[in-house]
């Protein structure tokens, strides 16, 4: 069966497999850290600080990683990412009494570098495997990669909660390190050499995008992901555990189900946005879906202020938010790959995901601080405001696409 597949499809499978395996460990590790340190008595802000280096080094990695990918090849940056994640997991294989804040933050820093090297490499590679004129196919491939990744991240949340319950913290990270090491060794053999290496060696100053469309889309991405993480990363799981009285297993299972559903919607986003009808989305679609998304956290906050049934408001709102956010995210992921220059594609993609990481960093810190100081409603209010800014940032893309005839 595999012998009849094209080289491009085979490489797509290898890249996707790498991305899937990494994502499982990434989602599981995040849930392990949140639940384990909440159990140890850490405050929401202290838990958020454990992820500070994870997000901060993600910002740096996407800038430098895009440059490295263009110089060294995307196969190397992807494999480096896998290796760093194995090291990060190994660092945490110590008894709970030895899990100091500096150790956890250092391991999270390595994990953040690893995650963004892996993601940047995977997303950039798709550009090189699809013909330039096949924009509908590009959207579908990017959507499948992104959606399946997030579905597995949700499975990772579930896995993290399950492993913590049955094996404890050190046993959980140890088992994940061994499994990922097997994937890494296979990747060294199977991944195509020199994929994505630029014809002309880019200068280090080329890490900053010179494309206006990439810059506006990057700004929109920053606020979009800040809007999600400002209430989802720390505030929501802690609220569920402390205010709703949910167990670790219940919190992990619910968030896993949410991420799985979110990833599924991302995968089918091309069908929802009209690719079957020959419509390839652009700036107009990005603005419309962002504007719709902004109303959801605002309505959830209003329901909580009015003291309506908290459980139903929160769970129902989360479901709707997840569907619309997934479409927004999938649209953005396609647009950056479409806008990026083919030669040295990782430079533009890396810059864009630098903004993504910056949004997560801001959202994570605010999630802990604002929730601790003002509560979940305040986090939701900031979320709505951030999505409004994200929508505004997409408006210039409409004019740019018209003048450049990029809207197909």
Q: What is the DSSP string of 300-353?
A: HHHHHHTT--HHHHHHHHHHHHHHHHHHHHHHHHHHHHHHS-STTHHHHHHHHH
Q: Please say if the pLDDT value at position 208 is more than 70.
A: no
Q: Which long-range contacts (CB under 8 A, 24 or more apart) does 302-311 make?
A: 304/376, 304/377, 304/380, 305/377, 310/243, 310/244, 311/244
Report the percentage of the chain scoring pLDDT > 90. Answer: 20
What's the average model confidence in pLDDT over 301-329? 90
Gap between the Cα atoms of 380 and 310, Å rounded: 14
* DSSP per position, 102-139: HHHHHHHHHHHHHHHHHHHHHHHHHHHHS-TT-HHHHH
At residue 378, the pLDDT reads 95
134 by Cβ neighbours in 10 Å (0-12 / 13-18 / 19+) ranks as exposed
| pTM for the structure as a whole | 0.74
Mean residue pLDDT across the chain: 80
Residue spans per domain, the chain:
2-404
CATH match of 2-404 with 3.10.20.30 = no
At residue 140, the pLDDT reads 75
Query: pLDDT tier at 357 (50, 70, 90 boundaries)?
Result: confident
243 close to 377: Cβ distance less than 8 angstroms: no
At residue 379, the pLDDT reads 95
Cα→Cα distances 276→59, 75, 280, 293, Å: 36, 32, 9, 23
Residue 402 φ/ψ region, left for φ over 0, alpha for ψ in the -120 to 50 degree band, beta for the rest? alpha
At residue 202, the pLDDT reads 55
**SS3 state at 12:** helix
Query: pLDDT tier at 100 (50, 70, 90 boundaries)?
Result: confident
Q: Please say if the pLDDT value at position 84 is more than 50.
A: yes
Gap between the Cα atoms of 99 and 80, Å rounded: 25
At residue 408, the pLDDT reads 39
Q: Please say if the pLDDT value at position 199 is more than 80.
A: no
The set of residues, in sequence order, having a beta carbon less than 8 Å from that of 258 and lying 6+ positions away, is: 154, 318, 319, 322
Side-chain-side CA neighbours of residue 143 (13 Å): 25
Query: In terms of Cα–Cα distance, which of 91, 88, 105 is closest to 47?
Result: 105
52 close to 365: Cβ distance less than 8 angstroms: yes
Q: Please say if the pLDDT value at position 404 is more than 80.
A: no
What's the average model confidence in pLDDT over 383-402? 89
Out of 162-171, 199-208, 319-328, 331-340, the most confident range is 319-328
Q: Please say if the pLDDT value at position 5 is more than 60.
A: no
Out of 61-70, 95-104, 303-312, the most confident range is 303-312
Lowest-pLDDT range of 53-62, 99-108, 361-370, 396-405 = 396-405
At residue 336, the pLDDT reads 82
The set of residues, in sequence order, having a beta carbon less than 8 Å from that of 261 and lying 6+ positions away, is: 154, 319, 322, 323
What's the average model confidence in pLDDT over 116-135? 69
Q: What is the pLDDT of residues 221-274, one digit of tens each?
A: 999 999 999 988 788 888 888 888 888 778 777 877 887 888 888 888 877 776
337 close to 126: Cβ distance less than 8 angstroms: yes
Lowest-pLDDT range of 11-15, 127-131, 165-169 = 127-131
99 by Cβ neighbours in 10 Å (0-12 / 13-18 / 19+) ranks as middle
């Amino acid at each position: 069966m595999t012998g009849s597949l094209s080289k491009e499809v085979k490489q797509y499978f290898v890249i996707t497999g790498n991305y899937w395996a990494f994502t499982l460990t990434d989602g599981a590790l995040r849930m392990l850290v949140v639940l384990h340190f909440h159990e140890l008595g850490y405050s929401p802000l202290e838990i958020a600080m454990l992820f500070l280096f994870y997000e901060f080094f993600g910002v740096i990695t996407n800038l430098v990683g895009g440059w490295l990918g263009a110089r060294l090849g995307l196969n190397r940056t992807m494999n480096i990412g896998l290796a760093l994640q194995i090291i990060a997991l190994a660092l945490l294989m110590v008894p709970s009494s030895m899990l100091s804040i500096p150790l956890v933050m250092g391991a999270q820093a390595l994990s953040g570098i690893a995650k963004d090297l892996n993601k940047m490499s995977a997303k950039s590679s798709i550009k090189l495997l699809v013909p330039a004129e096949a924009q509908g196919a590009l959207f579908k491939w990017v959507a499948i990669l992104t959606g399946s990744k997030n579905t597995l991240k949700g499975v990772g949340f579930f896995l993290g909660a399950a492993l913590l319950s049955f094996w404890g913290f050190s046993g959980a990270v140890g088992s994940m390190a061994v499994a990922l090491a097997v994937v890494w060794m296979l990747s060294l053999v199977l991944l195509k050499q020199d994929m994505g290496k630029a014809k002309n060696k880019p200068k280090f100053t080329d890490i900053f995008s010179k494309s206006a469309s990439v810059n506006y889309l990057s700004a929109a991405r920053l606020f979009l992901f800040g809007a999600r993480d400002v209430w989802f990363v720390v505030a929501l799981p802690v609220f569920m555990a402390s205010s709703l009285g949910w167990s670790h297993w219940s919190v992990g299972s619910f968030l896993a189900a949410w991420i799985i559903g979110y990833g599924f919607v991302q995968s089918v986003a091309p069908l929802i946005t009209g690719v079957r009808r020959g419509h390839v989305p652009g700036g107009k679609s990005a603005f419309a879906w962002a504007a719709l998304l902004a109303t959801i956290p605002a309505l959830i906050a209003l329901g909580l202020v009015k003291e309506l049934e908290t459980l139903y408001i929160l769970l129902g709102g989360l479901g709707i938010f997840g569907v619309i956010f997934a479409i927004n995210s999938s649209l953005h992921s396609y647009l950056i790959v479409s806008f990026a220059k083919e030669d040295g594609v990782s430079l533009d993609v890396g810059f864009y995901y630098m903004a993504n990481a910056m949004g997560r960093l801001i959202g994570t810190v605010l999630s802990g601080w604002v929730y601790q100081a003002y509560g979940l409603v305040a986090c939701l209010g900031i979320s709505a405001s951030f999505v409004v800014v994200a929508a505004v940032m997409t408006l210039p893309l409409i004019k740019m696409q018209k003048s450049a005839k990029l809207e197909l």
